[in-house]
Amino acid sequence: MTNIDHKKQRYVKLLKLKYIEKKILTSNENAELDEYLCILSTSLDWETKDQYINLLQQFLIGEINLVTFYNDFRQRCHSNIKVYDSLKANFILLSPHEKSEEFAELLDEISMYCTSYSEIFALELSKEENDSHELDFRNFMEKIYLKIQKFLNED
């Protein structure tokens, strides 16, 4: 049995203990379960990376505007959460890719920036101020896109 298969069996056991048998897990067991759930989450981000990259590309070439990018990015994240919940409920763990954790960190940067930027949406700004914020947003997304491209092209 491979190490990943053993880990998957352990994950299923911990999930069943916590959610079916309603046992209180030790702090070590909770930490172990959290680690598996993090692997599941980052694996989903990795599996859907092409959709995230396509969304960034559409924004950067002007096919979609900032608001559409923001909404579509959040929708993509929510879709992954739904799949995550389903996989967790069915005791399924994806095998992680070696780059999935780092890719998820890049997505977190986008998410945090979008969240901080969402406060600006509510403000009534002049056209100049709005244009300035949009330019800042675009510049940030260009930097992240380049980081992602560099990261994906590393061997």
Q: What pLDDT does residue 23 have?
A: 87
Q: Average pLDDT, stretch 136-154?
A: 95
**Parent domain of 82:** 3-153
pLDDT-derived band at 124, boundaries 50, 70, 90: confident
Gap between the Cα atoms of 127 and 80, Å rounded: 35
pLDDT at residue 60 tops 70: yes
pLDDT-derived band at 155, boundaries 50, 70, 90: low
Q: What pLDDT does residue 48 have?
A: 96
DSSP state of 64: S
Gap between the Cα atoms of 42 and 84, Å rounded: 10
Gap between the Cα atoms of 94 and 12, Å rounded: 12
pLDDT at residue 1 tops 50: no
How many domains would you assign to the chain? 1
Scan for tokens 């920036």, then name that residue. Answer: 113
Which of 60-74, 77-91, 106-120, 124-138 has the weakest average pLDDT?
Answer: 124-138
Gap between the Cα atoms of 79 and 81, Å rounded: 5
Q: What pLDDT does residue 93 have?
A: 78
pLDDT at residue 35 tops 60: yes
Q: What is the pLDDT of residues 80-100, one digit of tens each?
A: 999 999 999 888 878 888 999
pLDDT at residue 34 tops 60: yes
As a whole-number percent, the residues of the chain with pLDDT over 70 amount to: 94
